[in-house]
Amino acid sequence: MKDKTIYDKIFDGPCEVCCKTIKKDCYGQGKCPYCGWRNCYLNEENPDKVIHPNLVSLNKAKHLHAQGKQIEPDLDDFIGALHAYSEVQFCYHGICYAVELIGFEAGNIKIQLYNTKTKEEFVYNNDDAFKNNAIVEGKLLKEIWDETTDRNWLQ
């Protein structure tokens, strides 16, 4: 085992969210098998920011966990994740939708909602317009958000 370095080692440590003992590497990285949180030292340094590969901030995750809820993004968290990753997705009634930031070149960033089945694209001028006006299957996204699934960054 001579050529093993500290970077290969796995340690026992507390999950940042549920505090149960989990396996972590030297960067504090490890997915918690109990609450699903993806641990990383960067979370504790930026507790209010969405850090890859999570979709909510550490403080939000702790808050949800304390309430006995699953660590899932609400629409505001999802928009925060969009700004962290540039491309995110969700599914509704089995259809996946890609949400992307566009317009970087023009310096005028907008939000595009893309239906991967119909190939329809809708563009919203800013976060508020997306949050309040985005429509999915004729319904306001903000009203059906709890029924969406597979929220994630685009892989």
**Is 32 or 50 the residue whose CB approaches Zn ion more closely?**
32
**Is 15 or 141 the residue whose CB approaches Zn ion more closely?**
15
Instruction: Please state, in angstroms and rounded to a whole number, the distance separating the CA atoms of residues 96 and 55.
Output: 17
**Is 62 or 131 the residue whose CB approaches Zn ion more closely?**
62
Q: What x-and-dash track marks residues 16-55 binding Zn ion by CB under 5 A?
A: -xx-------------x-xx-x------------------
Please enumerate, as own/partner, the contacts of 52-57 that have beta carbons within 8 Å and a separation of 24 or more: 52/84, 52/85, 52/153, 53/153, 55/81, 55/88, 55/151, 55/152, 55/153, 56/80, 56/81
Instruction: Please state, in angstroms and rounded to a whole number, the distance separating the CA atoms of residues 17 and 48.
Output: 13
Instruction: Please state, in angstroms and rounded to a whole number, the distance separating the CA atoms of residues 73 and 79.
Output: 9
Asked if residue 99 lies in contact with residue 111, where contact means CB atoms within 8 angstroms, the answer is yes
Confirm or reject binding of residue 111 to Zn ion (CB under 5 A): no
How many residues sit close enough to Zn ion to count as binding (CB under 5 A)? 7
Q: What x-and-dash track marks residues 1-20 binding Zn ion by CB under 5 A?
A: --------------x-xx--
**Is 21 or 149 the residue whose CB approaches Zn ion more closely?**
21
Q: How far is the CB of 56 from Zn ion (least distance, A)?
A: 13
Where do contacts with Zn ion occur on this chain (CB under 5 A)? Answer: 15, 17-18, 32, 34-35, 37
